[in-house]
Each structure stands twice: as C-alpha cells, then as structure tokens.
Amino acid sequence: MTSSIYEHLLIEHQDDGISILTINRPDKLNALNHALLDELDRAVEEFDKSENASVLIITGAGEKAFVAGADIKELSSLTGAEGEKLSARGQAIFNRIENASKPVIALINGYALGGGAELAMACHIRIATENALIGLPEVSLGIIPGYGGTQRLTKLVGKSKALELILTGNPVKADEALQIQLVNHVRQADEAMELALTLAKKMMQNGPVALSKAIQAVHAAYSSNGFAKEAVLFGQLCETDDFREGTSAFLEKRKAEFKGK
C-alpha cells in the first residue's frame, strides 16, 4: 500500500487496485475550500491516469461528515463574476469525477450538504451510512446549488423531488435517500466500507475498457446543457443582499433575515 501527500486529502493506494480518498478537514466538517478543491482535482486526475488504480472510493474524515458543503466563509465575499467562475471551476472538477474512465464510489459517512451532496452525486455509486443526512440547503444562504446539484439531483431523483429538496433546502436521511434513489445502498457505519470494497472488487473483475465505455454510455442518456445556466445564475445570486445576509447569518450563528433583494 502507498499513499500520496496532500494537505486536505488522505489517499491510500491499495495493492489490489482500489484507492481510498478521504476528504480531511474534520474541524470544518470537511467543507470544500479553494485549496481542497485544487487538491481534489489533482487527485482525481492522478487516479484517472494511473495504471495501478482501478476504482476510487471517496469518503470524509471523522464520524460526523462526508462534506458539509462549500466553505461558506470563502463563499461569503464572492462577487458575481467570482461566483460564476468558482461555480464553473467546481463543476469542472466534479465533471472530471463523473467522466472518469474508472468507477468512483462515494461513501457518505454523515452530512453531505450543498457541495458535499454535489460531490457525492458526481460519483458513479453512492453508499450512505445510517447517520447520513443529504441535502442542498443553498437557498437558506441566498444562493442555489452551483457545483452541478441542480442538474444531477434532477437526473437522479426526478424533477418534482429535486424541486422540493432544492426549494425547501430540507435534507433527507439515509432511508429516504435510498427510497428516492439518491443513494444505491445504506449500511451501518462499520459495514459501509466493506460494501464499497466488495462492489469495487466485483467491478474490477470486468473488462476495464467496457467499464469506461459503460460510464460514457450511461451518461449519454442524461446529457444536457444546464450546467452553464447554473453557473450564470449562481454568479447573479452572489450580487444579492440576500446572499450576503444568508452567509453572514451562518458565520454569526444567527437566523437569516432575507429582504428579497
């Protein structure tokens, strides 16, 4: 087994060809800041190019969170242009995961909110632990999901449920996530990795070129153009008072008072 050096990620490359990437910022519930996103991009690119790694499992450090979202502190000062750019950057990284030539499994071990849910949805298969809570609470901050969530949630669970979850911001627990097909499997915390490894090993028995083409073919059934629109709308929201109020309220640990401007 070998490991790669990152500041915010832990990566284990097992001898059997399975790599385990752990988002490692537990004091901030693994929130995605700029530096972490850059590392994630690099790590996924390395995985995709590696001749030794066949399946990637992505999970979060600690027992509480997979990823609690984009880093709200960093988001809170974004201008419109910066917001649109960051949204497009995050989308590109998550698209790299979705379009990887080898399977990527998300092991959702707790909160997967906002950008965390979006990261999990970009993976090919999702396994949730029983304590997982998955949702897109961006509207409570005066923004919308900007890392592909409006597109991928709609494709995974259908338009009605996606609109309900995005417009209320309500998260779903693991059992409901399974029921609406947002996740593939739910397991107790101490059994989830075993299932991820079992699925990974089963996939690795199959032809690698076939796996790659299968991923592409399934995605072709869902191709659409909504990502660019999402990034533009996200940028527009970064110019609103409601966005400043929503993010400030979170950072000041108080309830947001939106004015609709």
Closest contact distance (angstroms) between CB of 199 and ligand CO8 is 27
Closest contact distance (angstroms) between CB of 194 and ligand CO8 is 26
Residue ranges that bind ligand CO8, judged by CB under 6 A? 28-29, 31, 68-73, 75, 83, 86-87, 90, 111, 113-115, 137-138, 141, 145-147, 234
Q: How far is CA 101 from CA 59, 66, 212, 261, in A?
A: 19, 23, 5, 43
Q: Judged by CB, which is closer to ligand CO8: 68, or 174?
A: 68
Q: Judged by CB, which is closer to ligand CO8: 103, or 146?
A: 146
Helix residue ranges per DSSP H, the chain: 34-49, 72-75, 80-98, 115-122, 149-157, 159-168, 174-179, 189-204, 208-220, 226-237, 241-251
Q: Judged by CB, which is closer to ligand CO8: 86, or 215?
A: 86
Closest contact distance (angstroms) between CB of 248 and ligand CO8 is 13
Q: Which residues are designated catalytic? A: 118, 138
Q: Judged by CB, which is closer to ligand CO8: 12, or 82?
A: 82
Q: Judged by CB, which is closer to ligand CO8: 18, or 108?
A: 108
Closest contact distance (angstroms) between CB of 38 and ligand CO8 is 14
Closest contact distance (angstroms) between CB of 126 and ligand CO8 is 17
Which residue type sits at 145? Answer: P
Q: How far is CA 178 from CA 63, 126, 247, in A?
A: 20, 10, 30
Residue nearest to ligand CO8 (CB): 114
Rounded CA-CA distance 258/261 in Å is 8
Radius of gyration of the chain (CA): 18
Rounded CA-CA distance 159/106 in Å is 23
Q: Shortest CA distance to 249 belongs to which of 239, 259, 11?
A: 259
